[in-house]
């Protein structure tokens, strides 16, 4: 319960903090922290315009995408506080709920029959596919380390207080951070601020959406980003701290996460499109490194 | 061909009228004679009796010479002619304009397609009837961009033939900004109206086009302006160059999502164009240049302010320029993207920045100097890699060179005479009758060519404008071949060509 409340709360501020960090880093004041929320509220009040040549898929997809993210949130524990839904191997369900959301967006883009959106769908599918191994290898490492296969139990047993190698944790956090960047269409794989449809990945898919649908898609993006924030903050929750202390730690970790994302986006250029697969493969290889470290730590691989 | 130089007034009677066959061989011989020759203008207009009179102007960059030849086509005679483009591709755009405007049928032209008008006006007056080049095949897909631009700048249509993410071919269709500049120029109007029109040919080249225009008019009036006025104009042109180059560097950073560079450089463009506001009351230098004078002179107070503005700009610009060209993620995007080889640049007749970044030394300020440039103290840079990096880095080099040059010009301005011009106090300003003048100015994009022709009463009968974009749009199309379609925006921005300068 706490995790979903935290996700919804932080999703309100998350994009705001990222954008504000970027503005300050380039010497500007920037929009208020709640600007993104205001945009979403404004869009939700509007009706949607849909092309006569698109089918029901186009209208359904934003809802599916929104629902999958909300359901995925239900699987997230908060430290030793259990999640609402939990069962064996729910890690897999978690990952494929997000994939289902992406799949519906890709179908939606194809449904418009626009050449831009076809290209965007192509790219989104490729990067989504490439980032999957990184996530699963990492999740597998945690499963091996803790001996459990549900998010609830994994995070109950694994945190900074549990004597796990800090180096491994650093790698894992780095990979998760980058997976979050890829999943949420941020730099260096995608540029959420670009106005150039030929270079877009996620933005071009939603080019034809307007009003309520667009508002829902933006809300989905915020919530998904905040969800990764809670996931990452879970690594940093020591069990001996009381609940209010954990909440404060989680909020601080997420704020730092948002600032880091903002800074990462301020001081570098975006990848060349062809380099993106290579970049994402690097994440997988770091995840494999984590996996072997875990095997050695748990004496499953004896050198 | 008659040999003359930039801003020489030549009598029309001195240019022999050739038959088309002789014209063709003469022009080809002149082109063959020297590699440094290229076509700067080739245009035609209808004589009162309906005949078509065409002029072709070649420039030799190594000897500062211009050459002109002309021919007549009788209204009743044949319009089917062999083309120059079949031998030298750089002529293609001029011959297309002749075909489109006057119905000349070039029989062996490789690419006879409209430049500014609908393809087949008889079948409908919409511009979408353009016959795009198409590649058929299961693996090829077509992407059309525009004419409404994503960044809401100017309209142009880009048609890509792609295999996956790679571009096989790009075809650019322009003409959406056609305003009839050349027709309005000869429309009965005052010199002031024409000057204001010249200011609006391309908004980012206001000083360049206006200077080329007033130079042509001053030459036809057989008058000069004072040294100080000339130097002020050169300063204005370099300021325009700096402002637009900085703005483009900012936009290039924006397109590769390097936020810091984009924000800092974007902010630096403002003081440069604001200086124009202080100087002449318009941020783009409109209202500054007039025939025979500058409406506001660069007073000592303004000179001090300019020095201050430049010092402050340089102090803020150096660190970000250094950071930008050392940042691996930025270099990774620019290097080896959108390469146009020296050979390609030569074939298509690229000019200005586009030529200099591909290893061709083409700079009117050095090759065809007029007025202030005769002192030969302006520095020209040439880069050879021909990629986006070359075009970006050339901008940095040119900004540096322009800052240095403005400082030299300011020194010269302090001692320059303000009253050795002959036009300031001349009450009647008539244009020389039956004459032709070619006025070339190196704007920030490249050579701007204004060609004026007068009739026996000294009235302007034809004024042809050539923006460097006329040649260079083709360079953009070539730069995309074999590149990713997602690199189109940075290739496009690295040229930053003019839509309205091309469409007129």
Separation between Cα atoms, residue B173 and residue B41, nearest integer Å: 21
% of residues, chain A, pLDDT over 90: 53
User: What average pLDDT does range A127-145 have in this prediction?
Assistant: 91
Q: Count how many Cα atoms sit within 13 Å of the Cα of residue B111 in the half-sphere of its side chain.
A: 18
Best mutation target, A116, A198, A200, A262, to test chain B (most B CBs within 10 A):
A198
Helical axes A2-25 vs A56-74, angle rounded to 10°? 110
Tokens 């071919």 sit on residue:
B169
Sign of the CA dihedral with B491 first, then B494, B499, and B502 last: negative
Q: Burial level of B125, CB count in 10 A (0-12/13-18/19+)? A: exposed
* Interatomic CA distance for residues B96 and B29, integer angstroms: 22
Contact A195 B262 (CB under 8 A): no
Instruction: Show the tokens assigned to A166.
Output: 């800090």
Would you call B259 and A26 a contact, using CB atoms and an 8 Å cutoff?
yes
SS3 B173: strand
Task: Kindly report the three-state secondary structure assignment for every residue of B28-81.
Answer: HHHHHHCCCEEEEEEEEEECCCCCEEEEEEEEECCCCEEEEEEEEECCCCCCEE
- Contact call for B329 and A196, based on CB within 8 A: no
Q: Which of B145, B165, B327 sits opposite A273 (nearest CB)?
A: B165
- pLDDT at residue A164 tops 70: no
How close B36 gets to chain A, by Cα (Å)?
37
Contacts of A207 in chain B (CB under 8 A): none
CB atoms under 10 Å from CB of B366, counted, come to 16
Q: Do A196 and B150 touch (CB under 8 A)?
A: yes
Dihedral of CA atoms A34, A38, A39, A41 in degrees, nearest 10, equals 140
Locus of tokens 């080329």: B212
Please tell me if residue B140 touches chain A, with a CB cutoff of 8 Å.
no
The percent of residues above 70 in pLDDT, for chain A, comes to: 97
pLDDT at position B198 is 93
Domains annotated for chain B, with CATH where assigned, are 2-115 (3.30.460.80), 181-283+299-416+423-503 (1.10.645.10)
Residue B161 token pair: 């033939």
Residue of A nearest to B337 (CA): A272
Determine the length of chain A: 303
Residue B148 binned pLDDT confidence (cut-offs 50, 70, 90): confident
Residue B154 binned pLDDT confidence (cut-offs 50, 70, 90): confident
Cα dihedral angle (A47, A49, A54, A58), rounded to 10 degrees? Answer: -40
Least-confidence region, from A130-144, A207-221, A234-248, B430-444: A234-248
pLDDT tens by residue, A204-237:
899 899 999 999 999 999 999 999 999 888 888 8
| pLDDT value of residue A159 | 61
Judging by beta carbons within 10 Å of its beta carbon (0-12, 13-18, 19+), is residue B500 exposed, middle or buried? buried
DSSP bridge partners of B52: B46, B73
Q: Average the pLDDT over A70-75 and give the result.
A: 94
Report the run of H or E that residue B117 belongs to, with start and end: none
Q: Say how far apart CA A249 and CA A238 lie, in whole Å.
A: 9
Which residues of chain A are within 8 Å of residue B134 when distances are taken between CB atoms? none
Smallest CA-to-CA distance from A57 within A119, A99, A124, A110 is with A110
Question: Whole-angstrom Cα distance, residue B401 to residue B406?
Answer: 9
pLDDT, tens digit (0-9, with 9 covering 90-100), for B107-121? 898 888 888 887 766
Task: Please list the residues that pair with B439 across neighbouring strands.
Answer: B450
pLDDT at B381: 94
| Contact list, A195 vs chain B (CB under 8 Å) | 150-151
What pLDDT was estimated at residue B103?
85
User: According to the model, what pLDDT value does residue A222 have?
Assistant: 93
- Chain B segment 267-296 residues within 8 A of A by beta carbon are 267
Average pLDDT score over residue span B414-424:
83
Cβ burial B168-205 (10 Å sphere, 16+ → b, else e): ebbbbbbbbbeeebbeebbeeeebeebbebbbebbebb
User: If DSSP codes are grouped into helix, strand and coil, which group holds residue B166?
Assistant: strand
Whether A288 and A197 have beta carbons less than 8 Å apart is answered as no
Determine contact, residues B345/B355, Cβ cutoff 8 Å: yes
Q: Which of A196, A261, A264, A265 to mutate against chain B (most B CBs within 10 Å)?
A: A196
pLDDT at B122: 61
Q: Does B196 touch chain A (CB under 8 A)?
A: no
Task: Annotate B251-287 with DSSP letters as a single string.
Answer: HHHHHTT-HHHHHHHHHHHHHHHHHHHHHHS-TT-TT
B466 touches chain A (CB under 8 A): no
Lowest pLDDT segment from A30-34, B107-111, B426-430: B426-430
Contact B327 A116 (CB under 8 A): no
Token pair for A122: 């192509």
Scanning the structure block, which residue is given the tokens 């939990």? Answer: A86
pLDDT at A161 over 60: no
Residues present in chain B in total: 504
Whether ipTM > 0.90 holds is no
How far apart are the CA of A273 and the nearest CA of chain B, in angstroms? 7
Contact A290, A175 (CB under 8 A): yes
d(CA A202, nearest CA chain B) in Å: 14
Q: B428 CB contacts (<8 Å, ≥6 apart)?
A: none
Instruction: Report yes or no: A208 and A118 within 8 Å, Cβ to Cβ.
Output: no
- Taking contacts as CB-CB distances below 8 angstroms, the residues of chain B near A27 are 263-264, 267
Of B242, B245, B248, which is closest to residue B262 (Cα–Cα)? B248
pLDDT for B21 beyond 60: yes
DSSP string, A167-232: HHHHHHHHHHHHHHHHHTT-TTT--TT---TTT-SHHHHTTT--HHHHHHHHHHHHHHHHHHHHHH
Closest residue of A to B165, CA-based?
A119
pLDDT at B121: 63
Paired with B60 in beta bridges are: B37, B65
As a whole number, mean pLDDT of residues A127-149 equals 91
pLDDT of residue B176: 87
Angle at B250 between CA B244 and CA B255, to 5 degrees: 120
The mean pLDDT of chain B is 90
Question: At B190, is the pLDDT very low, low, confident or very high (cuts 50, 70, 90)?
Answer: confident
Check if B491 contacts A (Cβ < 8 Å).
Answer: no
Rounded CA-CA distance A105/B471 in Å is: 42
How do residues B233-264 score in pLDDT, each as one tens digit? 999 999 999 999 999 999 999 999 999 999 99
How far out from the chain centre does Cα B210 lie? 12
The DSSP secondary-structure symbol of B484 reads B
Residue A274 CB contacts under 8 Å (≥ 6 apart), including other chains: B165, B484
B43-to-B104, B316, B490 alpha-carbon distances in Å = 12, 45, 33
Q: CA nearest B318: which of B387, B249, B389, B234?
A: B249
pLDDT the model gives residue A212: 95
Contacts of B267 in chain A (CB under 8 A): 27
Where is A28: in which H helix or E strand? none
Q: Based on the number of CB atoms within 10 Å of its own CB, is B29 exposed (0-12), middle (13-18) or buried (19 or more)?
A: exposed
Please tell me the predicted confidence (pLDDT) of residue B123. 55
**Phi, psi values for residue B173, rounded to 5°:** -115, 120
Q: CA distances (Å), B252 to each of A14, B245, B327, B359, in order?
A: 28, 10, 14, 21
Chain A residues closer than 8 Å to B165 by CB: 119, 273-274
């Amino acid at each position: 319960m706490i995790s979903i409340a935290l996700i919804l709360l932080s999703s309100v501020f998350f994009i705001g903090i990222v954008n504000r960090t970027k503005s300050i880093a380039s010497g500007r004041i920037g929009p208020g922290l709640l600007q993104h929320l205001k945009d979403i509220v404004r869009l939700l009040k509007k009706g949607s315009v849909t092309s006569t040549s698109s089918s029901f898929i186009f209208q359904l997809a934003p809802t599916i995408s929104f629902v999958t993210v909300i359901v995925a949130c239900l699987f997230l524990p908060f430290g030793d506080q259990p999640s609402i839904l939990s069962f064996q191997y729910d890690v897999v369900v978690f990952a494929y709920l997000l994939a289902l959301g992406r799949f519906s967006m890709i179908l939606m883009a194809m449904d418009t029959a626009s050449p831009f959106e076809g290209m965007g769908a192509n790219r989104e599918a490729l990067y989504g596919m490439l980032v999957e191994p990184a996530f699963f290898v990492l999740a597998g490492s945690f499963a091996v380390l803790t001996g459990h296969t549900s998010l609830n139990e994994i995070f109950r047993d694994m945190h900074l207080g549990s004597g796990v190698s800090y180096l491994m944790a650093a790698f894992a956090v780095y990979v998760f951070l980058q997976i979050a960047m890829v999943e949420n269409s941020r730099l260096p794989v995608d540029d959420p601020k670009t106005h150039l449809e030929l270079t877009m990945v996620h933005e071009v898919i939603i080019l034809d959406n307007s009003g309520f649908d667009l508002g829902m898609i933006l809300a989905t993006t915020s919530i998904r980003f905040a969800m990764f924030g809670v996931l990452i903050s879970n690594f940093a929750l020591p069990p001996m701290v009381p609940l209010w202390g954990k909440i404060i730690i989680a909020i601080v970790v997420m704020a730092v996460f948002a600032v880091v994302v903002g800074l990462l986006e301020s001081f570098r250029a975006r990848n060349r499109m062809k380099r993106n697969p290579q970049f994402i493969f690097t994440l997988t290889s770091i995840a494999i490194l984590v996996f072997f470290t875990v095997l050695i730590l748990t004496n499953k691989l004896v050198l | 061909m008659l040999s003359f130089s930039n801003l020489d007034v030549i009598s029309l009677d001195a240019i022999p009228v050739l038959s088309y066959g002789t014209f063709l061989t003469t022009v080809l011989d002149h082109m063959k004679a020297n590699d440094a020759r290229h076509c700067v203008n080739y245009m035609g207009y209808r004589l009162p009796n309906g005949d078509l009179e065409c002029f072709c102007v070649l420039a030799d960059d190594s000897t500062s010479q211009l050459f002109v030849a002309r021919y007549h086509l009788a209204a009743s005679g044949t319009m089917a002619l062999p083309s120059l483009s079949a031998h030298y591709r750089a002529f293609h755009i001029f011959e297309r304009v002749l075909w489109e405007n006057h119905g000349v049928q070039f029989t062996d032209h490789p690419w006879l397609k409209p430049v500014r008008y609908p393809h087949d006006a008889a079948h409908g007056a919409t511009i979408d009837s353009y016959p795009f080049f198409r590649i058929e095949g299961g693996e090829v897909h077509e992407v059309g961009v525009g004419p409404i631009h994503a960044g809401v700048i100017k309209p142009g249509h880009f048609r890509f033939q792609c295999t996956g993410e790679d571009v096989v071919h790009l075809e650019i269709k322009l003409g959406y900004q056609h305003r009839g500049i050349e027709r309005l120029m000869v429309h009965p109007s005052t010199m002031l109206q024409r000057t204001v029109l010249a200011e609006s040919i391309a908004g980012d080249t206001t000083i360049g086009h206006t200077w080329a225009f007033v130079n042509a008019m001053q030459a036809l009036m057989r008058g000069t302006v004072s040294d100080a006025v000339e130097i002020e104009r050169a300063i204005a042109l370099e300021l325009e160059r700096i402002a637009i180059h900085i703005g483009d560097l900012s936009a290039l950073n924006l397109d590769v999502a390097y936020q810091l560079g984009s924000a800092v450089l974007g902010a630096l463009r403002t003081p440069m164009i604001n200086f124009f506001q202080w100087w002449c009351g318009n941020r783009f230098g409109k209202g500054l240049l007039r025939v025979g004078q500058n409406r506001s002179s660069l007073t000592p107070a303004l000179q001090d302010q300019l020095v201050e503005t430049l010092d402050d700009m340089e102090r803020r610009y150096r660190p970000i320029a250094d950071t930008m060209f050392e940042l691996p993620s930025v270099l990774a995007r620019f290097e080896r993207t959108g390469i146009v080889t020296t050979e390609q640049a030569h074939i298509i007749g690229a000019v200005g920045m586009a030529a200099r970044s591909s290893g061709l030394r083409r700079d009117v300020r050095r090759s065809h100097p007029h007025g202030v440039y005769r002192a030969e103290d302006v520095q020209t840079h040439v880069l050879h890699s021909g990629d986006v990096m070359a075009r970006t880095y050339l901008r940095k080099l040119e900004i540096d060179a322009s800052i240095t040059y403005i400082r030299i010009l300011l020194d010269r301005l302090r001692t320059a005479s303000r009253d050795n011009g002959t036009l300031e106090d001349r009450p009647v300003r008539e244009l020389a009758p039956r004459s032709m003048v070619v006025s070339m100015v190196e704007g920030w994009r490249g050579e701007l060519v204004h060609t004026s022709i007068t009739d026996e009463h000294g009235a302007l009968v034809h004024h042809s404008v050539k923006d460097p974009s006329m040649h260079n749009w083709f360079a953009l199309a070539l730069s995309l071949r074999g590149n990713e379609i997602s690199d189109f925006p940075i290739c496009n921005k690295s040229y930053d060509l003019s839509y309205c300068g091309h469409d007129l």
